[in-house]
Amino acid sequence: MRAYFNFLLLFLAMTISLQSYGQITGNNVKVLNLTNNAYTSGASFFVKYNSHPQIEVDTFYTFECWMYVDTRASGDYPIIMDRRAVFSLFLIALDSSSSGGDYRIRFVARDNSDNIIASVRSSGKNAGSTDYQTDFHKWYHVAVSRDATTTRLFINGTLVDESTDTNFILSTSVTEYLNYGARYWGSYERFIDAAFDEFRYSDIARYTSSFSISVYSAPHDTTGDPHTILLFNFDNSDFTNTTSANSYTALYHGTPGFIDWDDAGLDEYLPLPIKYIEPLSAKEYEEDKVILNWATATEENNDGFKIERSENGIEWQNIGFVKGAGNSILTQYYSFVDSHPNAENYYRLKQLDYDGKFYYSNQAYYSLKEKKSCTVYPNPCSDFLQIKGLLPHRKTSAIIYNAQGQFVKASPSPAQIDIQELPKGVYFIEIIHFNSKSEVLRFIKN
């Protein structure tokens, strides 16, 4: 029994972890499109310094965003992010040695006269740097991250340039506003013609080497991170957002326009090619059969879904294929029946693009051996835990284990269990039924 419980405990821990990573509902549904003609309409937005002095960073910082550039006028250097007399992140023209594309990216530190005093760039011009091709009408993740000694520029997670120049310590104390999409130096100028998503401004070095990120990555979370100073994920049609560190409101210059993903007219969508409106789930279909269900809100270049099953959550086998809708902005509902399931079953979807790329969904679990009949409530609980679903007039007992699988207490009558003396945390309760079958449930003591 204990061996069985330990297996379930491991499964539950894996499931909690995998679902927290793989769950992809609730993603961004809007982007900020500053303008389609930046040089005449002049749209941008900004954060006031006097309301948010915490935007003063110096030795450790990370500035990052997703961006989709439409055009860049010859001789112009449109701004991604700028703070007067402190730093600028902006577009530059191709160097003579560039290998193609439409523009490059540069990050500079400035003195109080607006002179450039330190620079990293994606054009390959600096010794040891990389020429990273960037094209119009494509999404790119751009990040500048500095630790105690080094400033690094990343494009789509690739380290393209770095510098140990101490002028990148942004120690200049000013009261100038933080501008996005333009700069202000007596007047607004250098407007960018681009769409943006997931602007994040942090007081730590989030990236010190190349990392994995793509248009299919989940958006930044808005909670639980005290190092996020400002975060604009544009889920709503305003400039207000809240993180665990601060609440703030940004202001706009000009008339920035929010647009729906499906109406954006962009070649690629963020953050995923498939947006699930219902994650993968598994339940009993008929006797000894399991039905899988999931639904998508949008699809892009979706060839279909391979259905994969595992007995242990480690080794997987393909058991079927469901054709996708290709490109769709309508809700699509899918199902698949596993007619020959194992006793223990883990399921996942391997979503396939037409170009051969693939992405895994969340995992779903179903056991033919142990069909849960009980639930615990309230959950979380602080005093008396109750078990719902017990068969009347049948002898049932319960054993509580902590998150490490260690015995905590036993109860010969589990209808109501006193947990007031338990420390706060995650626990598992094993319900042992009259027929010696058992099931394990998870609860939180608060």
**Tens place of pLDDT for every residue, the chain, 446 residues?**
444 444 344 333 333 322 222 222 333 446 787 865 444 567 889 988 876 677 889 999 999 999 988 889 888 899 999 999 999 999 999 987 788 899 999 999 999 888 999 999 999 999 889 999 999 988 899 999 999 999 999 999 999 999 999 999 998 777 889 999 999 988 899 999 888 888 999 999 999 999 877 766 667 766 667 888 888 877 666 676 656 566 677 888 887 776 654 445 554 545 556 777 788 888 877 667 889 999 887 787 899 999 999 988 778 899 999 999 998 878 899 999 999 998 888 899 998 888 777 777 778 888 876 555 778 888 888 898 888 877 665 667 888 888 777 788 887 766 788 899 899 888 888 887 655 567 778 888 88
**Mind giving me the DSSP string for 50-100?**
TT-GGG---SSEEEEEEEEEEE--TT---EEEEETTTEEEEEEPPPTT--S
Residue 18 lies in a domain: no
Contact present, 129 and 98 (Cβ < 8 Å): no
Amino acid at 220: H
Residue 425 lies in a domain: yes
**What is the spatial distance between Cα 95 and Cα 16, in angstroms, rounded to a whole number?**
49
**What is the spatial distance between Cα 186 and Cα 179, in angstroms, rounded to a whole number?**
13
CATH number of the domain that residue 384 is part of: 2.60.40.1930
Q: Are residues 237 and 282 in the same domain?
A: no
Number of domains the chain contains = 3
Residue 7 lies in a domain: no
Q: Given this model, what pLDDT does residue 18 score?
A: 29
Q: Which two tokens stand for residue 177?
A: 């506003």
- H helices of 283-408, in order, are none
CATH number of the domain that residue 108 is part of: 2.60.120.200
Q: Are residues 81 and 179 in the same domain?
A: yes
Query: Is omega for the bond preceding 378 within 30 degrees of 0, making it cis?
Result: yes
For residue 38, give the H/E element and its range.
Answer: helix 38-41
Residue 94 lies in a domain: yes
Q: Are residues 327 and 390 in the same domain?
A: no
Residue 427 lies in a domain: yes
Three-point CA angle 423, 429, 434, nearest 5°: 145
Q: Are residues 204 and 335 in the same domain?
A: no
Q: Are residues 313 and 386 in the same domain?
A: no
State which of 329, 349, 367 marks the end of a domain: 367
Contact present, 445 and 427 (Cβ < 8 Å): yes
Residue 15 lies in a domain: no
State which of 214, 243, 263 marks the end of a domain: 263
Q: Are residues 296 and 386 in the same domain?
A: no
State which of 219, 238, 263 marks the end of a domain: 263
Q: Which of 282, 251, 217, 259 is nearest to 66 (CA)?
A: 217
Q: Are residues 163 and 80 in the same domain?
A: yes
Query: Residue 151, class by beta-carbon neighbours within 10 Å (0-12 exposed, 13-18 middle, 19+ buried)?
Result: buried
Return the half-sphere exposure (C-beta side, CA atoms, 13 A cut-off) of residue 141. 24
Q: Are residues 178 and 102 in the same domain?
A: yes
Q: Are residues 169 and 214 in the same domain?
A: yes
CATH number of the domain that residue 287 is part of: 2.60.40.10
How far is the CA of 51 from the CAs of 3, 181, 244, 397, in angstroms? 57, 20, 17, 58
**What is the spatial distance between Cα 130 and Cα 157, in angstroms, rounded to a whole number?**
13
Residue 24 lies in a domain: no
Q: Given this model, what pLDDT does residue 233 score?
A: 77
Domain that holds residue 407: 375-445
Q: What residues have CB less than 8 Å from 24, skipping those under 6 apart? A: 218, 272, 275, 276, 279, 361, 362
Q: Are residues 215 and 302 in the same domain?
A: no
Q: Are residues 342 and 206 in the same domain?
A: no
Q: Are residues 381 and 352 in the same domain?
A: no
Residue 17 lies in a domain: no
Q: In this structure, how many other beta carbons lie within 10 angstroms of the beta carbon of residue 403?
A: 13
